[in-house]
């Protein structure tokens, strides 16, 4: 059985000329709802009104997933353009911004309880859902993919700028996201019962509003029969999103097979996993990462190829081996989205709005803009 995969991407809404984030989510969503006219709605509001999220349908073929991601990006851009704006797939805004919190009761609760942490969470991530047979299988997968998640972060790294300056990181979004008290890597759970008990205990503290605030790097979905891998930045290019989804499915397959074969999960403690995530956020694909097997430094390409080798059999079984190999080689050649942003900024003489416009074109390369 080939597992289904669904992707959620968060996109920044920015002024088409200045590149400044604009609080247009309500208008964009209203336009999308009118056009859907009772059909399937793929867009939804996020924490801040300067961003919008879409979710694909579950797909088993990566070609279909790629087409749907590109179509959703283009549709979001079209609705934004009617308002003098566009969308851009960046993990953070390169320009200074004072984010506007959404209008929902949930968003207001977050603002009241978490203050500046909520205010500063104008960050855009990519979440990959992969189907599982049961919660027991799902937790077994979560326990076994832990050391590999930081590699996915490095592959997706696409947020080097923060409030008008270079952060020095490839994924500064992940550093901002880590301010939530429930975010980050976790210890192995061992069983679905222990997973659900831990989540219940966390909610029982009164610190979290509900299960939706359990912001683990990877978790059981509360809404779908899937594991949800949440560590990635939103990639600049849709092809990188497809690559990450492809590798993530293969990682889930590999972990499930290990569980069925009685192989125990890695015993790397959460302290080491946090260091691996920090290193991935700092380096992206342009420096060293911590190798998931040894937790020692190694060149990023070596670590990425270790991930590929780890999931090679699953990629082959899913019919994804050749496409993933080619996409990974291309990404290692061009570098991360963070590197692309920095290169574009240099090419355009340090002008952030022009760089953002170039990234908006990369987000939806088939849309012509006036």
* Residues 176-194, mean pLDDT to the nearest whole number: 97
- The DSSP call for residue 223 is S
CB atoms within 10 A of CB 68: 19
Q: Give pLDDT tens digits for 303-320.
A: 999 999 999 999 999 999
Q: Is the pLDDT of residue 245 over 90?
A: yes
Q: What percent of the chain has pLDDT over 70?
A: 98
CA atoms in the 13 A half-sphere facing the CB of 167: 28
- Output the pLDDT for position 366: 79
Distance CA 268, CA 257 (A): 20
Side-chain-facing half-sphere of 65: CA atoms under 13 Å: 27
> Any idea which of 35-44, 136-145, 236-245 has the lowest mean pLDDT?
35-44
Residue 326 has pLDDT above 70, yes or no: yes
Integer Cα distance of 235 and 284 in angstroms = 12
Grouping H, G, I as helix, E, B as strand and the rest as coil, residue 40 is: coil
| Structure confidence at residue 370 (pLDDT) | 41
**Tokens read off for 27:** 């208008």
How far is 79 from 280, CA to CA, in rounded Å? 34
Query: pLDDT for 108-117, tens place per residue?
Result: 999 999 999 9
Mean pLDDT of 197-212: 97
Residue 37 pLDDT > 70, yes or no? no
Q: Report residue 188's pLDDT band, with 50, 70 and 90 as the boundaries.
A: very high
Bridge pairing between strands 288-290 and 51-55: unpaired
What is the average per-residue pLDDT within 63-91? 96
SS3 350: coil
Q: Pull the structure tokens for residue 41.
A: 């709605």
Q: Looking at residue 298, what is its pLDDT?
A: 98
Confidence check: pLDDT of 129 > 60: yes
Q: Give the whole-angstrom CA distance, residue 263 versus residue 261.
A: 6
Reference 200, options 192, 5, 309; nearest CA is: 192
Q: Which helix (H) or strand (E) holds 230?
A: strand 226-233
Give the integer Cα–Cα distance in Å for 56 and 49: 21
Average pLDDT, the chain: 96
What predicted TM-score, i.e. pTM, was given to this entire model? Answer: 0.96
CATH topology of domain 5-363: Creatine Kinase; Chain A, domain 2 (3.30.590)
Between β-strands 125-131 and 226-233, what pairing exists: parallel, antiparallel or unpaired?
antiparallel
> Does the pLDDT value for residue 350 go beyond 80?
yes
Write b or e for each residue in 275-291: b if 16 or more Cβ atoms lie within 10 A of its Cβ, otherwise e: ebbbbbbbbbbeebbbb
- pLDDT of 146 > 50? The answer is yes
In the predicted structure, residue 186 carries a pLDDT above the cut 50: yes
As a whole number of angstroms, the distance between CA 156 and CA 235 comes to: 5
Residue 90 confidence (pLDDT): 98
Nearest 5°: the CA angle 360, 365, 370 is 65
Sign of the CA dihedral running 294, 323, 12, 365: positive
Give me the residue spans of the domains in the chain: 5-363
For residue 367, the model assigns a pLDDT of: 67
CB within 8 Å of 4: residues ≥ 6 apart: 58, 59, 60, 130, 131
The two tokens of residue 55 are 């979710």
- What secondary structure letter does DSSP report for 93? -
Q: Mean of the pLDDT values across residues 212-226?
A: 96
Residues 6+ apart with CB under 8 A from 368: none
**Across residues 73-96, what is the average pLDDT?**
96
- Report the distance separating Cα 268 and Cα 266, nearest Å: 6
Q: What percent of the chain stands above pLDDT 90?
A: 94
27 has a pLDDT exceeding 90: yes
Is the per-residue pLDDT at 36 higher than 90?
Answer: no
């Amino acid at each position: 059985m080939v597992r289904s995969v669904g992707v959620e991407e968060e996109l920044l809404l920015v002024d088409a000329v200045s590149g400044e984030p604009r609080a247009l989510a309500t208008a964009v969503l209203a336009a999308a709802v009118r056009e859907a006219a009772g059909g399937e709605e793929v867009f939804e509001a996020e924490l801040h009104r300067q961003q919008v999220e879409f979710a694909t349908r579950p797909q088993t073929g990566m070609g279909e997933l790629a087409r749907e991601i590109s179509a959703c990006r283009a549709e979001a851009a079209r609705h934004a353009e009617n308002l003098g704006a566009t969308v851009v797939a960046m993990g953070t805004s390169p320009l200074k911004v004072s984010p506007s919190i959404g209008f929902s009761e949930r968003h207001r609760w977050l603002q009241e309880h978490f203050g500046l942490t909520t205010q500063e969470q104008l960050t855009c991530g990519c979440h990959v859902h992969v189907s599982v047979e049961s919660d027991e299988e799902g937790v077994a997968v979560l326990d076994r993919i832990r050391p590999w998640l930081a590699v996915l972060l490095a592959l997706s790294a696409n947020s080097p700028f923060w409030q008008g300056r270079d952060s020095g990181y490839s994924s500064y979004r992940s550093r901002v996201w880590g301010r939530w008290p429930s975010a980050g890597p976790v210890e192995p759970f061992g069983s679905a019962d222990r997973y659900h008990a831990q989540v219940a205990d966390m909610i029982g503290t009164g610190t979290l509003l509900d299960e939706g605030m359990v912001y683990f790097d990877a978790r059981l979905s509360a809404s779908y029969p899937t594991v949800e891998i949440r560590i990635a930045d939103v990639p600049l290019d849709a092809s990188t999103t497809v690559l990450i989804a492809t590798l993530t499915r293969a990682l889930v397959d590999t972990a499930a097979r290990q569980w069925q074969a009685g192989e125990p999960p890695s015993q790397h403690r959460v302290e080491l996993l946090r260091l691996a995530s920090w290193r991935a956020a700092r380096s992206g694909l342009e420096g060293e990462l911590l190798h998931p097997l040894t937790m020692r430094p190694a060149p990023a390409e070596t670590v990425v190829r270790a991930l590929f080798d780890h999931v090679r059999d699953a990629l082959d079984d899913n019919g994804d081996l050749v496409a993933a190999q080619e996409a990974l080689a291309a990404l290692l050649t061009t570098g991360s989205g963070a590197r692309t942003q920095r290169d574009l900024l240099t090419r355009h003489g340090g002008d952030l709005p022009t760089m953002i416009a170039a990234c908006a074109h990369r987000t939806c390369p088939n849309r012509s803009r006036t």
